[in-house]
Chains A and B, each alone.
Chain A
Amino acid sequence: MSGARTSALATLRGQIERIETATVVHPHDRVALGHSEADNALKGGLARAAIHEVFCAGSQGTAATGFVMGLAGRVSAQRPLLWVRQDFSEIEAGALSMSGLAELGLDPRRMVMVRAADVESALRTSADALACDALGAVVLELWGETRQFDLVASRKLTLAAQGSGVTGLLLRMAAQPLPSTAETRWMLRAAHSPPGSVWDAWGAPRFDAELLRNRHGPCGRWIMEWNCDECQFSEPSTYSQPVAATPAHRPDSTVLQQRRAG
Chain B
Amino acid sequence: MIHALDEAAERLGLYIGQPLANARAMCPDLKVFDADTVADAKTLSDIADWCDRFTPLVALDPPHGLFLDITGCAHLFGGEAALLQALVRALGRQGFAVSAAIAGTSVCARTLTRQATGTIVADGEEARAISRFPVSALGAGEAITTGLRRAGLKTIGDVTARSPSEITARFGARFSTLLAHALGQGDAPINPRKPLPDYIVEKPFAEPIATDTMIAMTLSRLADTLIASMEKQGKGARRLEAAFFRTDGVVRAIMVETGRPVTQSKVIDRLFRERLDALADPLDPGFGFDMVRLSASRTEIVVQEQRDLDAHVHDNDELAALIDRIAARIGGKRVVVHLPEDTHIPECAVLAAPAQHHLAAAMQAEWPARTESEPPLRPLRLFDKPEPIKVPFAAVPDGPPHQFTWRRALHAVVRVEGPERIAMEWWRQDGKQLTRDYFRIEDAEGLRFWIFRDGLYEGEVFDGDGEPASPGWYVHGLFA
Contacts and interface: CB of A to CB of B under 8 A. Distances in A.
Contacts of A192: 442, 446
6 contacts: A62-B381, A98-B350, A113-B352, A114-B336, A204-B375, A206-B446
B334 A114 contact: yes
A189 B446 contact: yes
Interface string A194-223: 001011111111111000000000000000
Contacts, number: 197
Interface stretch (B157-165, B199-207, B217-225, B364-372): B364-372
A121 B330 contact: yes
Contacts of B278: 121
B73 interface: no
Interface stretch (A27-35, A36-44, A132-140): A132-140
Contacts of B322: 82, 128-129, 132, 134-135
Given A67-B480, A108-B338, A115-B334, A100 B381 contact: yes
B352 to A, nearest CB: 7
Given A100-B379, A125-B330, 9 more contacts: A61-B478, A97-B382, A97-B477, A98-B349, A102-B367, A109-B363, A113-B336, A132-B319, A240-B375
A205 B315 contact: no
A104 interface: yes
A63 B480 contact: yes
The 3 A-B pairs of least Cβ separation, nearest first, read A66-B480, A94-B381, A103-B376
Interface in A52-85: 59-63, 65-67, 69, 79-80, 82
A205 B446 contact: no
Contacts of A132: 318-319, 321-322
Nearest to B364: A109
Nearest to B409: A59
A68 to B, nearest CB: 10
A95 B480 contact: no
Contact of A100 (B314, B365, B376, B445): B376
Given A97-B379, A102-B368, A135-B319, A62 B480 contact: yes
B445 A190 contact: yes
A134 to B, nearest CB: 4
B380 A96 contact: yes
Interface in A211-262: 226, 228-229, 240
A191 interface: yes
Interface of A: 59-63, 65-67, 69, 79-80, 82, 90, 93-105, 107-117, 121, 124-125, 128-129, 132-135, 189-193, 196, 198-208, 226, 228-229, 240
A129 B346 CA distance: 30
A24 B62 CA distance: 69
Determine the main DSSP class of A at the interface with B: mixed
Determine the main DSSP class of B at the interface with A: mixed
A108 B364 CA distance: 11
Interface string B235-247: 0000000000000
Given A103-B370, A117-B330, A190-B445, A202 B380 contact: no
A105 to B, nearest CB: 7
A103 B337 contact: no
Interface in B265-322: 278, 314-319, 321-322
Given A103-B376, A109-B367, A95 B384 contact: yes
Interface stretch (B84-92, B116-124, B411-419): B411-419
A91 B216 CA distance: 39
A100 B375 contact: no
Contacts of A94: 379, 381-384, 477-478
A94 B336 CA distance: 17
A193 B380 contact: no
A125 B323 CA distance: 10
Contacts of A95: 381-384
Interface in B454-480: 477-480
Nearest to B315: A134
B336 A115 contact: yes
Nearest to B383: A94
B381 A203 contact: no
Contacts of B317: 134
B167 interface: no
Contacts of B415: 193, 196, 198, 200, 202
Given A62-B381, A198-B414, A193 B319 contact: no
Question: A60, A114, A129, A200: which has the most chain B beta carbons within 10 Å?
Answer: A114
A228 B417 CA distance: 19
A186 to B, nearest CB: 14
Contact of B380 (A82, A97, A198, A208): A97
